[in-house]
Amino acid sequence: MQRLKQKPDKKIKKPDFSTKEGRGMMAYILQKEFEYILNIDKDTEQPFIKKVKEDFVPRFTKRIIENPEKKIMIGICGESASGKTTICEHIKKSVDKYSLPVEIISTDNYFNDISELIKEYGSFDKFLESGYDLDAPSNFMTEQLKEDLRLLAEGHDVLTPQYLINGSGVNIAHSLPAKSQKIIAVEGLAAMYDNVYDLFDVKIYIDIDRKEQEERFLARAASRNQNRENALKQLKYIREASEKYILPHKHKWDIIVNGSVSIPYFEQIIDYLYGVTNNFE
């Protein structure tokens, strides 16, 4: 696998971000470095970046120049077991390593509380077998998600809900603290719904091979109180939901990345970008 060359230790003069010209210089530097990553990445055995919309880079750099105070909102979506959570976990590692101004929000925590319905059916699996469309937009608290993201974008910290993934269907309101950082990364299915999707400056879709998706889904079944048979049933449901709610909108996303890429290579990209943005005196 090819490696990204590390940035030279020599510092360059930092642009004056209080001026439009300075922000334009920084945007130009980021654009050139992004193009460098794309060119190197496409020649690797397993590229991370599969597709980028033609207008994405100029559109994003223009936004940075014209509205520098606004928080950068990043949406991350993909099918179940595509690698959304794994990638976000490694972003979090880099956040801790470099003290980066990033907050990560999972839209899974905005599932409606369905605990009473699960009790009525006796178990989560029986509840799912009843035909309940768990991934439908109406089963997410999208209005609260939009409001929380609006507050974060405006500089306010919030308490998000917490949906328990133990099969109970319980959602605990105002449970998880979220800070209004310079970059807000939002991952999960609800990030692609129309009334949430439009909030993002950068929209990343994580693609995954179906065979690898199944292997990942079954591997994590035990931690979610599922046996293999029930996990396969849920995977079947999830794929049907993907055909309905996710795949038809895949083409709208700015960047499509490979969810099968090696994590060390992904971390290398983050390290490189960190080097770029801190290569100033």
Do 185 and 244 reside in the same domain of the chain?
yes
Distance of alpha carbon 260 from alpha carbon 48, whole angstroms: 8
Strand partners for 185: 74, 104
Would you write out the chain's pLDDT as a tens digit for each of its 281 residues? 445 555 545 555 666 777 888 888 878 887 888 888 888 888 888 888 999 999 998 888 888 888 888 888 999 999 988 888 778 887 888 778 878 888 999 999 999 999 999 999 998 878 878 888 888 888 999 999 999 999 999 999 999 999 998 889 999 999 999 999 988 999 998 998 878 999 999 999 999 988 999 988 888 877 766 788 888 888 888 898 889 888 888 888 999 999 887 766 667 777 766 665 555 44
**151/210 same-domain check:** yes
Based on the fold, state whether residues 159 and 185 are members of the same structural domain: yes
Compute φ and ψ for 36, nearest 5 degrees.
Answer: -65, -45
What's the domain count of the chain?
2
pTM of this structure:
0.85
Q: Which helix (H) or strand (E) holds 76?
A: strand 72-78
Domain of residue 74: give its range. Answer: 49-260
- How far CA 65 is from CA of 17, 23, 70, 101, in Å, comes to 9, 5, 11, 19
Residues 255 and 271 in one domain: no
Using only C-alpha atoms, what is the Rg of the chain?
A: 20
Q: Same structural domain for residues 23 and 155?
A: no
